[in-house]
Amino acid sequence: MFEPIKENSFIDITTSGTNGKKYSCKVKEILGERLFALMPDDLNDSSDFIPGSKVKVTYSDRSAVYSFLSEIIVLKPGTPSILTLGRPANMVRIQRRNFVRLVARLKIFSNKIAGDNKDAEFFSATTSDISGGGLLFGCDTQLNVGETLEATIFIGQNQTISAVGRIVRVVEQSALSKYRYSVGLEFTDIKESERDKIIKYIFNQQRELRTKGLL
């Protein structure tokens, strides 16, 4: 019914209306036509969650981004509050390869994740390009395909993006290259609000390039 969403997955729930709000939630349980989501601890306004009203649910995995509409059944107050959603409707699947990729030089700070353990040693890198599904970066740190990284990406003076990704490609560069390795990272755990920042950044950069006649 809710495939491919599973228990303990993270989803984004956007309320309806012109001033719809987006909430990042964790799936507590799925029973038949019902999905139970743990709401953020700082949820102060429950007026957006009236039984019977519609919400948009977004979920992503390694291969695609999924979105569908659902109906609010009930919001049970607590710490955290639990939101019950009804069966999904109009599910849309967007392949990750459909994300627009932009050539961009952005700073990254990253570290490896192995199971539940994080490698405390951070390293810096610079992107070659970026999209809503992942990025390509250069670094001097030796990495391996299949490893998981936690990354902070700087897309402006005061704006960062946090994401977790899996390394899908490592290529050793020539001695003339600025960095020793070129690494492809595919996002595996990123909030849709963070992905939206990337997509907005790409859109704004492309608009600026078009204005200058460079695209």
- Least confident among 19-23, 131-135, 175-179, 182-186: 19-23
3-state secondary structure of 57: strand
Please write the tens of the pLDDT for every residue from 132-172. Answer: 889 999 999 999 998 899 999 998 778 899 999 889 899 99
Query: What average pLDDT is seen over the chain?
Result: 86
Report all structural domains of the chain as residue ranges with CATH numbers, in order of start: 10-97 (2.30.110.10), 102-211 (2.40.10.220)
Side chain identity at residue 99, one-letter code: F
* Per-residue confidence band for 125, with pLDDT thresholds at 50, 70 and 90: very high
3-state secondary structure of 199: helix
Q: How far apart are CA 137 and CA 128, in angstroms?
A: 5
Please write the tens of the pLDDT for every residue from 31-86. Answer: 989 999 998 876 767 777 889 999 999 887 766 788 899 999 999 988 888 999 99
The highest-confidence range among 8-17, 102-111, 173-182, by mean pLDDT, is 102-111
| Six-digit token string for 85 | 């959603």
- What phi and psi values does residue 192 have, to the nearest 5 degrees? -65, -30
Side chain identity at residue 177, one-letter code: S
| Six-digit token string for 95 | 């392949």
What's the distance, CA 78 to chain centroid? 27
